[in-house]
Amino acid sequence: MGTVADNVAAVRERIAKAAVRSGRRPEDVRLIAVTKTVGPELIKEALAAGITEFGENRVQEAAGKVPVFPEASWHLIGHLQTNKAKQAVRLFRLIHSLDSLRLAETLERRAEAEGCTVKCLVEVNVAGEATKYGVTPEELPGLVRAVSALRHIEIEGLMTVAPYVENPEEVRPVFRRLAELAREINALGLPRVNMKELSMGMSGDFEVAIEEGATMVRIGTAIFGRRDP
């Protein structure tokens, strides 16, 4: 692996190529650098390399980093427990992992108390993996409809974590399906629901995700190197 700056440049280059290849503009794909297990020194290097958005999968870990780097925008990309909702509302610009009405109702109460709105993506378990969070494609319309009644929550799109595969072409149908689901939900014309973001694609599969319409890719390993287990 090179330096963080080298890696960021290489990832940006690959993002741009995948975008252009599929008739999109590189600037329409946002790079979210995933900093779980990554310490402040490397986060500083990423900031110096022009990264402005970071993703964390645990509230607890993020709580130690967000105040150190307030100039950055922070995204919650991992499962959120209702008892961490209050902290999450304060820490994150966007919650990618809304996956139940119960969580939405808790976020609604917290947002109302804080006098703010919470921006969320709904996580969809497109491939139906038992080990993954997210609603099934069948559950998605019902959840979005119910959440659209909550006045302090804005649904800005969908997120998925594709199954781990050697050849990313194998998960192209997963990304394609997420894009299709977003179009279906948009057609419902629900209040406070605007499917403008598709958060899909990680180090191993982001180019395919971009070809299928990703507007946000969440990249850890390709920028910071392999995480210690």
Closest CA to 220 of 31, 1, 4, 33: 33
Helix, strand, coil % in the chain, rounded to nearest 5: 45, 20, 40
Minimum Å gap between C-beta 187 and ligand PLP is 27
Answer for which of 24, 30, 36, 176 binds ligand PLP (CB under 6 A) is: 36
Minimum Å gap between C-beta 38 and ligand PLP is 10
220 binds ligand PLP (CB under 6 A): yes
Q: Which residue has the tokens 């992992």?
A: 97
Q: For ligand PLP, give the closer residue by CB, 152 or 224.
A: 224
Per-position x/- string for 71-100, each x denoting binding to ligand PLP as judged by CB under 6 A, each - no binding: ------xx----------------------
Minimum Å gap between C-beta 149 and ligand PLP is 27
Residue nearest to ligand PLP (CB): 220
| DSSP state for residue 67 in the 8-state scheme | T
157 binds ligand PLP (CB under 6 A): no
DSSP-assigned beta bridge partners for residue 31 = 217
Strand ranges inside the chain, DSSP E? 30-34, 53-56, 73-76, 94-98, 118-123, 153-159, 193-199, 216-219
